[in-house]
Amino acid sequence: MIPIDEKARKNAEQWLKSNAIDETTKDVIKDMMENNPSEFNEAFYKNLEFGTGGLRGIMGVGTNRMNSYVVAMATQGFVNYIIKKNSQKKTIKSVISFDSRNNSKDFAKITAQVMAANGFEVYLFEELRPTPCLSFALRYLKCDAGVMITASHNPKEYNGYKAYWNDGGQLISPDDKLVIEEVLKITDYSMVNITKDETNIKILDSSFDEHYFNEVIKLSLSPEIIKKHSDINICYTPLHGTGITMVPKALEIFGFKNINIVKEQAVLDGNFPTCKSPNPEEHSAMSLGIALSKKIDATLLLATDPDCDRVGIAIKDSKGEFILLNGNQTASLLTYYILLRWKETNRFKGNEYTIKTIVTSELLKKISESFNVKNYDVFTGFKFIAEKILLLEGKEKYICGGEESYGFSIGDFVRDKDAISACCLIAELCSWAKEKGKSLYDILLEIYQEYGFYKEDLLSITIKGQKGAEQIQNMMLSFRENPPKKLIGLDVVQIKDYLKQTDLNTKTNLSETLPFPKSNVIQFFLSDGSKISVRPSGTEPKIKFYFGVFNLLEKKEDFEELNIKAEEKIQSIIKELNLVTE
């Protein structure tokens, strides 16, 4: 029989001795200790870490699980920091939302009760609402902090807690790390101040949605064209998540009348019964949507994840077959369309910019610069896009920004990924293309003809066990000390090392300082414009390789052949870097 871990026993005994822990929970702990020591050890051997983005973990009893006690303790730590930062204020305000996952509403209420007990004026959404609505509400209601209960696209066993600051973005440095310090100080549930008195809790009902919709409709760039093509056939799936509360209504407000919802996935269910993982990046999650799209001959399939901050799409190719676009392709289409329409409607003043993350396609930068619009690179994670918007507020005009992992935002009224507004602009782009007698696929190939074809792929290598982290660090060290000079017969002409903060031109051997804080990321640029990025995961025993290979596309008819060659280039790079896994 597996022995009880002593650290786990110590953590569990603290709960068993506490008068604040309910008897049902104590019974579960005792049963695990006696009958399932491996599960017990996993549940109690450590505290669930409050990382720079908040909490995320498997739900259940234990210090290393998402449950009401862990949520309350984390909230007390977060509250203590918020109070420190707002010590001059008479009233501190916060807002809380939640998604469709199991226990999300309960966790949201507990978070509200802790904040209310500490004297906060708390706004709590009455029913589940998407992450972008939480970000918007923070700014609209002039709140000091916010919390979104969600585990994004993780499997059904998970839930999470995302912490937001007064700018509407997730916590950034130094606040993120200082919040962690305060959370770590809450070592026992008895330190939590919680109340059942809801006097300080104000409920936000569905009437609040109108404030958000009023901003979204301002994003429309082709309302007259939508009127002409309001009947384009749109298929939408919320993947059992919050998108069902906002996306169909937003599309209707934009003027679209033919919205077909995947009914099986419109059911709010934290067990996500129709998909293994509610992730629009995965074909299996999109299969029901594609089936319906084929049946009704839809023009476009839209899918949002449970907290509706990311969008995946499927469109018809030249053969009329539905294909899934990746996040880079969707972001490129949106960036191109938005900037083109800004130019055609004379909106540019000369101080506009777009943003992408460093691992996102260089195509976004090319498109932006072709319209004389600056493009800024930021680290991976949408909170860094929000940080850049905050830094440039009042100086430059943010138009849009995106990342390869299916996140996009338009305008600055939301400071996180926003799949609601993205769905509206994607649908508008479809109507604009139809006005020109084209499809979205045609527009994508035209972009590739004009700017070049970038094909992207991601390889994640998981190395578990005690030596996993050491092996990953050794891989990074090897890339730094012995970087490749050539890959697939092409010179490595530039190396960006974000840990050393150096940007090396390998031809001149001259190095510039990268305008970024230190981060364990390294990038190799090839002579043809291709890019390889290497980044260890900050939360999992993984090392990630992002590939973006470049080719010129002269004729649309050549695309399929070129696409195959691009995939071969990626596989050749993987082989040369000895990344082939069994």
Residue 392: count of CB within 10 angstroms of its CB: 17
Q: Is 370 annotated as catalytic?
A: no
Q: What percent of the chain has pLDDT over 70?
A: 98
Q: In this structure, what token pair is assigned to residue 220? A: 């429309």
3 state SS of 382:
helix
| Predicted confidence (pLDDT) at residue 423 exceeds the cutoff of 70 | yes
Could you tell me the residue ranges of all domains in the chain? 47-204, 213-451, 453-576
- Band (pLDDT 50/70/90 cuts) for residue 2 is confident
CATH of span 453-576: 3.30.310
pLDDT digits (tens, 9 = 90+) for 3-42: 899 999 999 999 999 999 999 999 999 999 999 999 999 9
Q: In this structure, what token pair is assigned to residue 206? A: 């569905």
CA distance 529 to 527: 6
Contact 340, 373 (CB under 8 A): no
| Predicted confidence (pLDDT) at residue 540 exceeds the cutoff of 80 | no
Per CATH, 47-204 and 213-451 having the same topology is answered: yes
pLDDT of residue 582: 43
CA distances from 411 to 335, 408, 418, 422, 451 (A): 12, 10, 10, 11, 25
Q: Can you tell me the mean pLDDT for 520-529?
A: 97
| Predicted confidence (pLDDT) at residue 580 exceeds the cutoff of 80 | no
Element at 432 (helix H, strand E): helix 419-435
pLDDT digits (tens, 9 = 90+) for 249-284: 999 999 999 999 999 999 999 999 999 899 999 999
Q: What's the mean per-residue pLDDT of the chain? A: 96
pTM of the model: 0.96
Set 94, 100, 152, 368: catalytic member: 152
pLDDT digits (tens, 9 = 90+) for 47-105: 999 988 899 999 999 999 999 999 999 999 999 999 999 999 999 999 999 999 999 99
Q: In this structure, what token pair is assigned to residue 524? A: 């190799």
pLDDT of residue 537: 79
- Band (pLDDT 50/70/90 cuts) for residue 467 is confident
pLDDT digits (tens, 9 = 90+) for 425-438: 999 999 999 999 99
Closest CA to 79 of 110, 48, 101: 110
| Predicted confidence (pLDDT) at residue 581 exceeds the cutoff of 80 | no
| Predicted confidence (pLDDT) at residue 380 exceeds the cutoff of 70 | yes
pLDDT digits (tens, 9 = 90+) for 388-407: 999 999 999 999 999 999 99
CATH of span 213-451: 3.40.120.10
Q: In this structure, what token pair is assigned to residue 376? A: 């800024």
pLDDT of residue 230: 97
Question: Residue 169: CB partners within 8 Å, gap ≥ 6?
Answer: 135, 382, 383, 386, 387, 389, 390, 415, 416
pLDDT of residue 51: 86
pLDDT digits (tens, 9 = 90+) for 542-556: 899 999 999 999 999
pLDDT of residue 233: 97
pLDDT of residue 470: 85
Longest dimension (CA), the chain: 73
pLDDT digits (tens, 9 = 90+) for 123-148: 999 999 999 999 999 999 999 999 99
CA distance 98 to 252: 24
CA distance 205 to 466: 48
Peptide bond before 37: cis, by omega within 30 degrees of 0?
no
**CATH fold of 47-204:** Alpha-D-Glucose-1,6-Bisphosphate; Chain A, domain 3 (3.40.120)
Element at 417 (helix H, strand E): none
pLDDT of residue 53: 84
pLDDT of residue 541: 78
